[in-house]
């Protein structure tokens, strides 16, 4: 799920990479182009084990690898075609709860919010409107990665982190709330990239890279997020679709 604490003018070109790390943890890398006229937070609910500690997430700085997703895309050369081209946080004052840890990750300030109740420890402008989570009961036990974004139009450099997962499935946060409301359907402009040791997990919907990742990625610059000895799978989600997260 990609949620914003304040209305945004547009969100396009969302790209997400996911890979299991250890047995019970997973990597996510997230990037997008956003236009907003005020400072806000991007909130990614995550299926973490219940009562995960505040240091459960490890944020990873990929600021120096701004071409992370451009390089991933190089792993999928365009095939010649005779027809048309494919479609392609502020903090409380006296008497407020203890502060959540703030981490500088490249050009972002990020925090892990262990539960919905812990949003009270963030400034109001970095939370979703009151009552939003009541409409999303499936997320009542989730934790949340929160990234503070400045106003203006920009392409967000890759936001990367590793989190403990409560499910064996690989999770992509693809549900979105861009206006403080929950809609059954939403407009998608997403490209998902996947690595998994289980080749059966890649269905017919996923395109496999001809090369191993080390053939087109700067593996040393990924801080361990990408496995150079595995292929990468890609799937595009475009147009109006059911508004939900993606599990593989």
Q: Confirm if 192 and 237 have CB atoms less than 8 A apart.
A: yes
Cα 53 to Cα 179: distance, rounded to the nearest angstrom: 30
Among candidate residues 196, 231, 199, the one with its CA nearest the CA of residue 217: 231
Output the pTM of the full model: 0.83
Please give the chain's pLDDT, 248 residues, in tens. Answer: 567 777 777 778 899 999 999 879 999 999 988 887 777 888 899 999 988 999 999 999 998 999 999 999 999 998 765 444 344 333 333 445 666 666 656 567 788 989 988 888 877 767 777 677 787 788 889 999 988 877 665 667 799 999 999 988 999 998 877 665 667 887 788 999 999 866 565 556 799 999 999 999 999 999 999 999 999 999 998 888 888 889 98
Distant-in-sequence, close-in-space partners of 199: CB < 8 Å, separation ≥ 6: none
Give whole-number Cα distances, 38 to 5, 34, 148, 248, in Å. Answer: 10, 11, 11, 35
Ordered by start, the domain boundaries in the chain are 6-79+99-247
Instruction: State the DSSP code for 127.
Output: S
Q: Can you name the residues that pair with 241 across neighbouring β-strands?
A: 186
Residue 186, CB-side half-sphere exposure with 13 Å CA sphere: 23
Cα 45 to Cα 175: distance, rounded to the nearest angstrom: 10
Q: Where are the alpha helices (DSSP H) in the chain?
A: 68-74
């Amino acid at each position: 799920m990609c949620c914003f604490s304040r209305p945004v003018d547009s969100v396009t070109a969302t790209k997400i990479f996911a890979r299991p790390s250890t047995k019970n943890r997973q990597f996510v890398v997230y990037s997008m182009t956003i236009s907003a006229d005020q400072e806000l937070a991007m909130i990614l609910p995550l299926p973490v084990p219940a009562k995960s500690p505040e240091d459960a997430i490890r944020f990873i700085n990929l600021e120096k690898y701004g071409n992370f997703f451009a390089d991933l895309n190089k792993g999928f050369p365009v095939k010649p075609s005779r027809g048309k081209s494919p479609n392609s946080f502020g903090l409380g004052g006296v008497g407020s709860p203890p502060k959540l840890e703030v981490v500088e990750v490249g050009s972002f300030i990020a925090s892990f919010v262990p539960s919905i109740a812990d949003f009270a420890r963030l400034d109001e402008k970095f939370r979703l409107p009151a009552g939003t989570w009541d409409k999303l009961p499936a997320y009542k036990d989730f934790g949340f990665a929160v990234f503070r974004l400045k106003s203006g139009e920009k392409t967000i450099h890759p936001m990367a982190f590793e989190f403990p997962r409560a499910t064996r499935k690989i999770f992509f946060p693809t549900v979105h709330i861009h206006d403080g409301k929950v809609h059954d359907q939403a407009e998608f402009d997403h490209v998902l990239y996947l690595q998994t040791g289980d080749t059966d997990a890649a269905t017919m919907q996923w395109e496999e890279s001809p090369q191993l990742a080390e053939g087109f990625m700067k593996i040393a610059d990924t801080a361990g997020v990408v496995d150079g000895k595995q292929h990468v799978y890609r799937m595009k989600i475009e147009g109006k679709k059911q508004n939900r997260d993606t599990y593989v």
